[in-house]
Amino acid sequence: MKVTSFGEVLWDDFPSGKVLGGAPLNVVVRLKSLGVDGSVISRYGNDEDGKELLRQIESKNVNTDLLQVCDECPTSLVKVTLDKSGSASYEIVYPCAWDRIRVEEKTLARVAESDAFIFGSLATRDEVSRATLDKLIDAAKFKIFDVNLRKPHYDTDRLLATMKKSDIVKLNDDELYELAEIYGSPYHSVEQNVAYLAELTGVKTICVTLGSHGAVLYTDDRFYRHSGFRVKVADTVGSGDSFLGGLTYKLLNHADPQEAVTFACALGALVASRHGATPEISLQEIETFMNPA
């Protein structure tokens, strides 16, 4: 199985220090730990932060052949602030290296041969990376859109157009309600707004994460739910990315949708119980967590 992601690679700058991050990278790192051939398409600065970022990505056994070096912009550094519950807020500098991702023949070829192509909304904030993404979406056979609303780094018309090109859309409940209101939904429940968004965009599969309350998966006109797993939260950074990695892993392996959303919720909860976006978690650990003896 081959999965390729596109978008930001960066340093999350916590009060305790810098940690490797970026949603597209986090998803691929998680998929790699599940045995998937994962690659990330991005760009880092020609600086010390960039060199260390490359070293750390290589240490996680992720293919770095599709990472580009940027001379005109620095490696991305994102200031992360955690509230008392461990929920994160982000200060994202513009421009940075991943705003300037270019089209290359090898990236087009990799996306075309991948079983899934995962991309987010953050990397569409600049016209250079946005134009590259449009070409890669055209080359992809199965497209997974990770909606990641970070004000002011998104455009709602562009989000709608991108959703219409996607096979799966993943977002959280706050993002769902924000977009539903913008796009004229009269509804108030998660399920009604998911169905509204599916009708508006033509997307067959939509997944909405609900924080500690689990997730809802809508596919083939049916809803599947999991109420979540209770853990002591260390921080929530990367938990949604690992959720998406787990969901992608199961769906590409043709798992039952209920099994897929349950597995993804377990993986997201385990990540939230530890510090950092990509703690090491084995398949056996996930299974034991879901079904303790």
User: Does any domain span residue 269?
Assistant: yes
Whether the Cβ atoms of residue 43 and residue 66 lie closer than 8 Å to each other: no
User: Does any domain span residue 293?
Assistant: no
User: Does any domain span residue 292?
Assistant: no
User: Does any domain span residue 126?
Assistant: yes
Share above pLDDT 90 across residues of the chain, in percent, rounded to a whole number:
84
Whether the Cβ atoms of residue 10 and residue 98 lie closer than 8 Å to each other: yes
Tell me the pLDDT tens digit for each residue of 57-89. Answer: 999 889 899 999 999 999 999 888 888 877 777
Tell me the pLDDT tens digit for each residue of 133-164. Answer: 999 999 999 999 999 888 888 899 999 999 99
User: Does any domain span residue 130?
Assistant: yes
User: Does any domain span residue 106?
Assistant: yes
| Spatial distance between the Cα atoms of 38 and 1, rounded to a whole number of angstroms | 9
Query: Can you give the pLDDT at residue 83?
Result: 84
Q: Domain span at residue 128?
A: 2-287
User: Does any domain span residue 115?
Assistant: yes
Contacts of residue 190, Cβ cutoff 8 Å, sequence gap at least 6? 173, 176, 208, 210, 216
Rounded CA Rg of the chain: 18
Q: How many domains does the chain have?
A: 1
CATH number at residue 33: 3.40.1190.20
Tell me the pLDDT tens digit for each residue of 210-236. Answer: 999 999 999 999 999 999 999 999 888
User: Does any domain span residue 179?
Assistant: yes
